[in-house]
Chain A
Amino acid sequence: MTVLTNALRELAGLFVDDGALALMIIAVVVLTGVVATLLPEVPLVAGGILLLGCLTALLSSVARANRR
């Protein structure tokens, strides 16, 4: 059981290092999905939110790590 837990933890570690960054990325993707559903005729609005949201999440994660 411990081996399986460790393996799963290591597998999750491939994708999540800073939990706050991962949460921000997921939040940006969810927001993009909502906007893409509500405004299907202007998909670039959703695209812009996705791109700028990811860049903002990255900057804020670096800034947070820098303050620690």
Chain B
Amino acid sequence: MTGSLALIWPVVTAAFLASLVEAVEALTIVLAVATVRGLRPAGLGAIAGLGALALIVVALGPLLDRVPLHLLQLVIGVLLLLFGMRWLRKAILRSAGVIPLHDEATAFAAETAELREQARRNEARLDWIGGVTTFKAVLLEGLEVVFIVIALGSGRGMLVPASVGAVAACLLVAAVGLIVHRPLARVPENTLKFAVGIMLSAFGVFWTGEGLGVDWPGADLAIVGFAAMFLAVSGAAVVLARHPKAEAVS
């Protein structure tokens, strides 16, 4: 299977942006643990999370080649629809002011407050709790990144470009996090989720259709058309659902 040239940039971009969101969320929790309990438990938990993630990828990765292509496209397509439209729905509701915007600074404050409360209750076990917290955060957000890479890359033999996009995003967030040492609250998370939700939903329609035997006009380029339609409908949904308060937050 070789990747189509028209798909490489959309795949790399979608993997990069989606992974950026996940990496920022993981970094917020790692920084919260590091602030309350120091770098050691935070770092060890994060490294253990990365290790567990690597084990999962190594164990399950080769199974992908054994799944028939149409079945793989269908399963991945449906999962992409569920995952992408969930992101898109949330981004629309946040843009319209129906639900509050996600704020990394608030998430950081909530996580540190919870860890301090746990410290008050049980000081001796806090290193362990801190390590488990970062382990879980890195593993769960990492699983989302792995899913995105597999979903975007496996249908057309583009696992390498998708992985490159995801790894670049994770390294970028880790480097910026190490330098600034505080939550990346200025990353426009909802705009990223909006864009990625549109791209993942468009890929989801494409793969699901291919898995069910639909021969899309324009082949891979049909994804661009789907993305345009999702963008138009989502934009209209934001306008229709917009609350007066949204003017202040958008």
Residues of A within 8 A of B (CB): 10-11, 14-18, 21-22, 25-26, 29, 32-33, 36, 40, 43-44, 46-47, 50-51, 54-55, 57-59, 61-63, 65-66
Contact = CB atoms under 8 A, between A and B. Distances in A.
Interface range on chain B: under 10, 10 to 19, 20 to 34, or 35 or more?
35 or more
B78 A55 contact: no
Interface of B: 78-79, 81-83, 85-86, 88-90, 92-93, 96, 98-99, 140, 143-144, 147, 201, 204-205, 208-209, 212-217, 226, 229-230, 233-234, 237, 240-241
Contacts, number: 103
A17 B213 contact: no
A11 B237 CA distance: 28
Given A15-B82, A33-B212, A58-B230, 9 more contacts: A14-B144, A15-B86, A18-B86, A29-B78, A46-B209, A47-B209, A54-B205, A61-B89, A62-B240
A50 B211 CA distance: 12
What's the dominant secondary structure at chain B's contact region?
helix
A11 B215 CA distance: 32
SS of A interface (majority) = helix
10 contacts: A17-B86, A21-B89, A32-B209, A43-B213, A43-B214, A54-B204, A61-B89, A62-B92, A65-B93, A66-B93
Nearest to A68: B98
A57 B204 CA distance: 14
A48 to B, nearest CB: 9
